[in-house]
Each structure stands twice: as C-alpha cells, then as structure tokens.
Amino acid sequence: MSLKDKLHVIKQRYAGTKMAPAFNALHTFLYTPNEVTHNGTHVKAVDDLKRTMNTVIIALVPCLIFGMYNAGYQHYLAQGAIDKASGFLGASFWTVDNLIIGAWTILPLVVVSYGVGLAVEFLFAVIKGHEVEEGYLVTGMLVPLIVPVDIPLWMLAVAVIFGVVIGKEVFGGTGMNILNPALTIRAFLFFAYPTWMSGDKVWVHGAVERDQMIAAGATNLDAMSGETILGAYAQNKTLAYDYWDMFWGIIPGSVGETSKFLIIIGALFLIFTKIGSWRIIVSTLIGALAMGLIFNAVVDAGIISDTSKFYGLMSVPFWQHLIIGSILFGAVYMATDPVSAAQTNKGKWIYGFLIGFISIMIRVFNPAYPEGVFLAILLMNVFAPTIDHYVVQGNVKQRMKRLKVKTA
Amino acid sequence: MSKDIRIKKGLDIKLVGAAQKELKNAAAGQFYTIRPEDFHSIIPKLVAREGTKVKAGETLFYNKSIEAMKFVAPVSGEVVEVVRGPRRRVDAIRILADSAQEAINHGAFNLSGATPGDLKEHLLASGCWPFIKQRPYDVVADPAKEPKAIFISAYATAPLAADLDFTLAGKEAELQAAVTALGMLTTGKVHIGVGKNANSPLSNLSGVEKHLVSGPHPSGNVGTLINKIDPINKGETVWTVAAQDLVIMGELLLTGIFNPERTVALAGSAVSSPRYFKTKIGAPLSTFIYDDGVEKGANHRIISGNVLSGKQVGEEGVLDFYSNVVTAIPEGDDYEFFGWNKPVFDKISSSRALTFSWLQPKKKYDLDTNTNGEHRAFVVTGIYEDVFPLDMYPMQLLKACMYNDLDEMEALGMYEVAPEDFALTEFICVSKQPHQSIIRTGLDLMLKEIG
C-alpha cells in the first residue's frame, strides 16, 4: 500500500473525531485533499491559502538566512574579533563562523515561534472543531525576524501564546482578526519586557551577557556595543555606518529587518506573484517620504534648533528614512497582511499612506523607543475597517444617487 | 443610443473540449423529465397526475402563487412517475414519450392586433413564460410587474459555452418574432448584447437596442450587460431571456406550437468528440452523450450547463429547462503530493505564486473537479475585483449575505446580481468559498423578507 493510500485509511479512521482537524492539518501538508466541488463552479483555480502563505514564506527566507549571518557578524564585530565587512559581499560577513553563531541563536527562535504558535492553533482547532488554518505559517516566520536576537525563549513563548490567543483566536481565528498577530506578539514583548526590546545592547548577540559578566566583576572584558542606527540618531550621535551598510543590512537591528536590499527583492517577488498588495507597499513608502519631507521643511525653516532632542532624526534627509529602521520590512511584510489591512483598493492607498506617515512621526517624536513602525501598523489595523467603511459608502452613495436621479 | 461595452476585468477560462461545429440529431428518448427545481422559488401545483396522457405543450403543473403560469410537457405521452422528495415536494415528473408525437396547437399569434395583456396571457398559458426571468432575485418573472427594460445576451463567453452564432443560425424569423413580442411587454427597451467580432443572427433584428460587447468572461453574462447599460435600482425590475429560448418563444408565436427543441453543445475534456446535438428540454442525456462522446461509467462529472454555473446531473440526468450546453469533465477525487507548494503548469491561476498559467495565456486546460485546497475563511483581498466587472464590492456583498444583513445587501447592490455573476470570483477564490450559493441564499432571504 502506498503512502497515499495509508494516509487515506488513517484519515477515514479519524473522520468525525475530535482529532480529525489535527490529522488533516498534517495530511494536507503532504497531499492536497481529494475534495471535489459540488454545485457552484465545478472547476477551481489552483491557488489555495497554503500556496498563498507559502509564497510569503519564500519571500522571507532570504531575510532569515541573511539574519543568521548578520547575527554572527555583529557578534564577532562587537567583540573586535573580525574586521568590518566592506559591502554586501564583504569577506568577513559570509563566513561559516558567522552562520554557526547566527543559526545557534536564531533557529531556536524559529522553533519556539512555530512550535508554540502551532500548538496553540492545533489546540483551538481541536477544541472548536474547525480545520487548522494556515495564517500562523507566515506569522510564525515573521516573529523571529522582528525580535532582538538574544530575546529569552520563554519570553518569546509567552508572547506567542498571548498573540495567537488574544490577537487571533478570540476573534474566531485566521481571517477574523483585527490586529496583525505577529505585531501583537511584538507589542506584547515591547510593553511587557521593555529592557529586552530596546536600548543599545539587545541587538547584538552576547552584549547583554557581557554586561552582566562585567557587572559581576569580570575585569578583563570590554563592554560590547550594539547600537541601532535609530538609537544613534535619536541621541544626536554621529553614525558609525554609511548608507550602503544600511542598505545591505550589515548593521545591528532585529533579526530579519536589517537588509533593505533583500526586503526589496522580497517585495518585488510578492508584487510579481500578486500575493502582496503593491498598493499598500507603495503608499506606505509615499507616506513615509511625505512625513520625512515635512520634517525636513521644518528643519530648513529653522523652526527647530540643533540643540533640540528631535533635531537628529528630523534633519535626516527624507529618503533616508526608508533605509533606516524597519519601515521597509513593515511596509512589505506587515502592512500587507490582507486580513488586518484595508480590504478595498482605494482603502489600501489611504491605509498605507497613513502607516508610512505615522511611522515616521512616531520615529521622530519618540526618542526613547525610536521605532514606531509596528505601533503605526497596529494603529492603522484598528482603523482599517473604518477606512473601508467610507470607501464602500462611496459606492453605496453612487447607487443611491442613481436612484434619486431616476425618481426625481 | 446603442452603447458598446468593453470589459477589462474578467477571466477567460480556456478549456479543452470545445464543441466542433457539427450538428447531429440526438436519438429520441424514451422518458422525458421535467424538474420543478429548475424554476427557482416556484412551488408547483401538480395538474397531470400519474397515468395522465398529455400532449406536448399541455400543462404538467402551474405556479401555486400565480395560477396562470403554466409549465408544460415537452413531449406527448403518459405521465408515468411523479418523483417526490421530503414533505411531498415534487422533484420530477417523468413522461413516457409516445412514438407518434402530438402537440397542442394554440394557433399563430397575431402580434400587431394584440395588447400586451393578451400576449402575457398567451405566453403564460403556453408554457413559454418561464423562459423570462427577472432581476432582482434571478427567478421566473412575475407577470404583474412592469420591467423597465429587457436584456438578452447573445454573446457566450463562459467556458465551453455553445456558440450562439452557430446554434441560432437560420432562426432569424423566430428570434424577430420573440423580440418584437418582448418589446410589447416593456415600456423601456429590449437590449441585446452581441459579440463585437461575431456574426450573430441576432445582430440584424429590428426593434431592439444592439450593443457590441467585447472583453473576457463575464462580458457575455446578462448581468454584466445590465450593469453597464441600465443598472437596476431599488424598486425596479428588469427581465432577461436567454438567446436560445427566444427561438422556442418565437416558434410558439409564429406557429402556435410549443416546440422545446434546442441545439445543445456537448463539450468538455471527458468527451472524445465534442459536437452539437439537436435535442429537447427534459431529454435524457443518455440519448446523445454516449454516441461516440462520453465513456459510460468512467470517473467523470456530467453537468447540465457550463462548468461555472451548471448543475451536476450524472449520466442518468436530463437536459434542464435553461441549459444549452452539457459538459463532461473528469472528477478530481484524488490526492496530490505537495500540491500546495510545487510549481504548477497545468492548472489555471490568477496569481503567479509558482503557478505558470500567466506564461501561456492561449493554452487550453484540462481541469478536473478537485477543489485544489480546503475551505477557509476569507483572507486574501483585492483579487475578486480583478475578475468582477460590475460596479460593486463583491467580497463585502458576499459577507453581507453571510451575516444576513438585508440593509447592507440592498445598499451594496444585491438587486442587480444573480449567482452566475459570482462564478468567476468563486473560481479564483483562494479560500474556496461557495460564492454562488452564498448569493443564492442571500437572494432567497431578500425575496422572502422584502419580496
């Protein structure tokens, strides 16, 4: 008996039982089911939710792999063990040593994110008797990419449980949630464990540990620094990196968001495959540029002096906002989540624009926690249904007007 | 003023097995069956009980709420069986056909001397009325209502549709009689959509407003025509008639005989030599599908209608009241290893997510009935709009139907749509939601609550 037939027999055995959704989730992972259409359209297009989610994961894989190398690279660089890499293909970047450190620290994040998140999903599917939906496949991949590399695993596990249960399952599961689950998880970490989510230590593997050792009396060690670009700007410091470093992504930051180059490639892939909404991506970037231009104008007009604590980030040329921080990652992978985003095409333009606009506003005005992208997206998630409501009302009004013209 | 219609949003689903332009006469069937379920929302009141002898065109049952609306026998013979479902609902009426056919002759109808009232009465009594459908609700037209216009689409764009230019060729006289009659039933116009590059027998009819239609499916759907020419507002009614049914209506008016003969395309990849057959409404499909066409007993699906909106009937099924195509495609009841992530070349996709149908826009596909994935909640947005040319928000309307919000359904344009308008959005739906049945349920709710 072939594997296919064996699985079919097991499926029949589980059919109707509590565990059926759990088995089906694993089964459909191997084989698309033998389900046929009934009345309605007798044929169907090939795309399903698994394929859609899988496409997003494909677009994220380069960011994950780069993140592993970068974690190792930042670690050794901060220790002073290696030289600074020159550019994307720099010799000291793509080394096995870097990859080993990176994989050692990041793979556990991936495993915990998927393990805990999927366990919660399976649990809910079995209790509520619905199929396991694929939403978490992408969320589980996003989560390790948007946290600091050294985040303790138990914190991540707690946050994932919170995010999946409160962010998604209480609303009815995939497709029903209001907030982006991955960002709900990040927001939980951010507010519950702020010391692990900001500052100039957490972004480089080993830096926190090194500090603790120094505090414990180790005298032969130097502190490791791993300040992000935004952190430096927010404190009006001079930068240790040039624009190309930022673009290629060989800078400290959350695991997967540093390489703007790979994010752009991922964005092009998502737009080409028609899985990601180009409207949201483009409008988010436009919104960010618009806010950047406004701040530049404020600086140019001399309204703000260079002693102000806002001066550093306000005076950043507007286009550079796109390559510092994680606005690009947010625009491409987070804002485009179809469930929590605006659902009408017109609404997507407004939604994206406001995300970009507010992101840069928070970035500039909140020097303590300088990255505002995730807050801006969560905020607009909440307003997305309102935006859609007004867009749809526009269509409804047209219909009413047609009626009025007729009856008048 | 005639208005040309060019549709950009849509999708042509190109399938293998289009019917060759070659006409055969189907063998006469032994049993003919009329199924009241073809006439959605009508409750039949049976006249011809088991054992009754009927002539072709004689009443089998009438509409319980409008007694004048008759539904007639397609052939002469004996009513041998009335199949009943739950609560004694009439499911089917089977007639054993006589070898010598007799038909009721109503006499030629003189249109020029008749009033609209006479005409209505004639159509209702002769069994031709059910060919006239109405929107809102996509049901058989209510003769008491005054339609603001009547729409006919003579442009077939659905996958494997019968080519109306071929099936209706030579029927100009009947078509003209029917549209002239329809013109008397409305104060507005009779709009006909014909293919822009086609040589349609309907393009030279007089007394109608002709529109040249082009673009991908659903440009040939009558719903698209209505939306682009004269959309339905609240309180208004429009009527629609399928082009092939005009012939039966026209023949009745010219000769006085209800002749349910129809040229039907037998198409689909499970048919070895797809072609056209001349047969009758209610005829058993077995009279023509096996005739060097469909392999008997194979694992396939026989559909009365097209693959998007037709009805699954099986080999023992009959031609339903409205269809002019019978489609046979393979069943897809098999598993596919890693079907959700491997590159796909032999199926149609609206995305490019490792699916490559965008590379070969001209290729013809052999699709089976597999759903290609499981049913999910609505997740992906913005894809339905790409294949939906009507000026409304399809997903929002579907959701309004799902939570039974009548006000919202009304505001979003529910009066304008029929289930078939949502066939393409259902076809591409990533979440595999049954759009057409959601819309049908929503329309039924509105019909019941608002009327």
Residues A27 and A59 in one domain: no
Distance of residue A37 Cα from the nearest chain B Cα, in angstroms: 6
**Angstrom distance (rounded) from CA B191 to CA B187:** 12
State residue A315's pLDDT score.
Answer: 84
| Measured CA angle at A313 (ends A207, A247), to 5 deg | 65
Query: How do residues B283-316 score in pLDDT, each as one tens digit?
Result: 999 998 888 788 888 889 999 999 999 999 988 8
Q: Which amino acid is at A296?
A: N
Q: Would you call the peptide bond into B216 cis, given omega within 30 degrees of 0 as the criterion?
A: no
- Higher pLDDT among residues A129 and B449, named by residue: B449
Interchain CB distance below 8 Å, B335 and A40: no
CATH number listed for the domain at residues B31-97:
2.40.50
Taking residues A169-185, what's their average pLDDT? 90
- The answer to whether residue A350 sits within a structural domain is yes
Select the residue of B231, B340, B383 nearest A48 (Cβ to Cβ).
B340
- The answer to whether residue A262 sits within a structural domain is no
Residues A15 and A152 in one domain: no
- On average, the pLDDT of chain A sits at 88
What angle do the packed helices A135-145 and A153-167 form, to 10 degrees? 140
A41/B contact by beta carbon, under 8 A: yes
Contacts of B367 in chain A (CB under 8 A): 43-44
Lowest mean pLDDT among A277-291, A340-354, A390-404: A390-404
State residue A408's pLDDT score.
Answer: 62
Query: How do residues A324-354 score in pLDDT, each as one tens digit?
Result: 888 999 999 999 999 999 999 999 999 999 9
* Confidence class for position A120, pLDDT limits 50, 70, 90: very high
- The answer to whether residue A43 sits within a structural domain is no
Burial (CB count <10 Å: 0-12, 13-18, 19+), residue A78: buried
| pLDDT at residue B399 tops 60 | yes
Q: Which amino acid is at B52?
A: T
Cβ neighbors of A270 (< 8 A, separation 6 or more) are A55, A56, A59, A276, A281, A332, A336
pLDDT above 90 covers what percent of chain B? 70
**Angstrom distance (rounded) from CA B136 to CA B140:** 10
**Angstrom distance (rounded) from CA B109 to CA B116:** 12
Residues A358 and A323 in one domain: yes
Distance of residue A323 Cα from the nearest chain B Cα, in angstroms: 28
* Confidence class for position B450, pLDDT limits 50, 70, 90: confident
Contacts of B374 in chain A (CB under 8 A): 24, 28, 33, 35, 48-49, 131
* Confidence class for position A23, pLDDT limits 50, 70, 90: confident
* Confidence class for position A164, pLDDT limits 50, 70, 90: very high
pLDDT above 70 covers what percent of chain A? 98
State residue A369's pLDDT score.
Answer: 64
Residues A28 and A112 in one domain: no
Query: For residues A152, A154, A159 and A164, what is the CA-based torsion angle, rounded to 10 degrees?
Result: 130
Place of tokens 């007799």: B102
State residue B2's pLDDT score.
Answer: 63
| Measured CA angle at A306 (ends A303, A308), to 5 deg | 80
Residues A129 and A192 in one domain: yes
Domain count, chain A: 3
- On average, the pLDDT of chain B sits at 91
Burial (CB count <10 Å: 0-12, 13-18, 19+), residue A155: middle
Q: Number of H helices and number of E strands within chain A?
A: 16, 1
Q: Which residues pair with B67 in a beta bridge?
A: none
Q: Which residues pair with B303 in a beta bridge?
A: B312, B327
Residues A105 and A2 in one domain: no
| pLDDT at residue B358 tops 90 | no
- Higher pLDDT among residues A195 and B91, named by residue: B91
Query: How do residues A207-243 score in pLDDT, each as one tens digit?
Result: 888 888 888 877 777 777 777 777 777 777 777 788 8
Beta-carbon contacts below 8 Å between A and B: 227
**Angstrom distance (rounded) from CA A54 to CA A51:** 5
A397/B contact by beta carbon, under 8 A: no
- The answer to whether residue A263 sits within a structural domain is no
Taking residues B379-387, what's their average pLDDT? 91
Compare all CA atoms of chain B with the CA of A279 and give the residue at the minimum distance: B382
Task: Quote the tokens at residue A364.
Answer: 């500039």
Residues A384 and A307 in one domain: yes
**Angstrom distance (rounded) from CA B73 to CA B53:** 10
| Measured CA angle at B125 (ends B108, B443), to 5 deg | 125
**Angstrom distance (rounded) from CA B218 to CA B156:** 9
Radius of gyration of chain B (CA): 21
Task: Quote the tokens at residue B216.
Answer: 């991908």
What angle do the packed helices A278-300 and A345-365 form, to 10 degrees? 40
Query: How do residues A27-70 score in pLDDT, each as one tens digit?
Result: 888 888 888 888 789 999 999 999 999 999 999 999 999 999 99
Residues A139 and A180 in one domain: yes
| pLDDT at residue A158 tops 90 | yes
Q: How far is CA B435 from CA A42, A278, A338, B438, in A?
A: 12, 26, 19, 5
Select the residue of B236, B353, B385 nearest A275 (Cβ to Cβ).
B353
State residue B296's pLDDT score.
Answer: 85
State residue A329's pLDDT score.
Answer: 93
Quote the strand ranges of B245-322, DSSP E. Answer: 261-267, 275-280, 300-304, 311-312
A245/B contact by beta carbon, under 8 A: no
Interchain CB distance below 8 Å, B370 and A41: no
Element (H, E) at B82: strand B77-84
Residues A163 and A78 in one domain: yes
Residues A30 and A61 in one domain: no
Helix, strand or coil for residue A200?
Answer: coil
Q: Which of A3, A5, A6, A41 to mutate to test the interface with B (most CBs of B within 10 A)?
A: A41
* Confidence class for position A368, pLDDT limits 50, 70, 90: low
| pLDDT at residue A367 tops 70 | no
**Angstrom distance (rounded) from CA A169 to CA B213:** 47
Supply φ then ψ for residue A221, to 5 degrees. -115, 150
A380-385 CB contacts, 8 Å cutoff, 24+ apart: A380/A335, A380/A351, A380/A354, A380/A355, A381/A178, A381/A179, A381/A180, A381/A183, A381/A340, A381/A341, A382/A178, A382/A179, A383/A351, A383/A354, A384/A340, A384/A341, A384/A342, A384/A343, A384/A347, A384/A351, A385/A178
Taking residues A306-324, what's their average pLDDT? 84
Query: How do residues B276-287 score in pLDDT, each as one tens digit?
Result: 999 999 999 999
Q: Would you call the peptide bond into B284 cis, given omega within 30 degrees of 0 as the criterion?
A: no
Place of tokens 């996958």: B159
Compare all CA atoms of chain A with the CA of B148 and give the residue at the minimum distance: A406
* Confidence class for position B401, pLDDT limits 50, 70, 90: very high
* Confidence class for position A305, pLDDT limits 50, 70, 90: confident
| pLDDT at residue B158 tops 70 | yes
Nearest CA among A297, A345, A342 for reference residue A318: A297
What class, spelled out in words, does domain B107-255 have in CATH?
A: alpha beta
State residue B333's pLDDT score.
Answer: 86
Nearest CA among A192, A185, A104, A100 for reference residue A142: A185
| Measured CA angle at A136 (ends A132, A142), to 5 deg | 170
Taking residues B192-204, what's their average pLDDT? 86
What range defines the domain where residue A389 resides?
Answer: 277-408
| N- to C-terminal Cα separation, chain B | 33
Quote the strand ranges of B103-189, DSSP E. Answer: 132-135, 139-140, 149-153
Are B190 and B267 in contact, with CB atoms under 8 Å apart? no
Helix, strand or coil for residue B33?
Answer: strand
Query: How do residues B200-242 score in pLDDT, each as one tens digit?
Result: 888 888 889 999 999 998 999 999 999 999 999 988 999 999 9
Tell me the domain boundaries of chain B: 20-27+261-330, 31-97, 107-255, 371-449
State residue A9's pLDDT score.
Answer: 86
- Higher pLDDT among residues A201 and A40, named by residue: A40
CA atoms within 13 A on the CB side of B266: 30
Residues A57 and A143 in one domain: yes
* Confidence class for position B398, pLDDT limits 50, 70, 90: very high
| pLDDT at residue A107 tops 90 | yes
- The answer to whether residue A242 sits within a structural domain is no
Distance of residue A89 Cα from the nearest chain B Cα, in angstroms: 29
* Sign of the CA dihedral with A106 first, then A111, A112, and A114 last: positive
Residues A101 and A8 in one domain: no
| pLDDT at residue B1 tops 60 | no
Place of tokens 């046979």: B328
Nearest CA among B10, B24, B32, B35 for reference residue B308: B10
Q: Which residues pair with A275 in a beta bridge?
A: none
Q: Number of H helices and number of E strands within chain B?
A: 9, 21
| pTM value > 0.80 | yes
Contacts of A348 in chain B (CB under 8 A): 382
Interchain CB distance below 8 Å, A131 and B375: yes
pLDDT above 70 covers what percent of chain B? 100
What class, spelled out in words, does domain B20-27+261-330 have in CATH?
A: alpha beta
Place of tokens 């005409």: B119
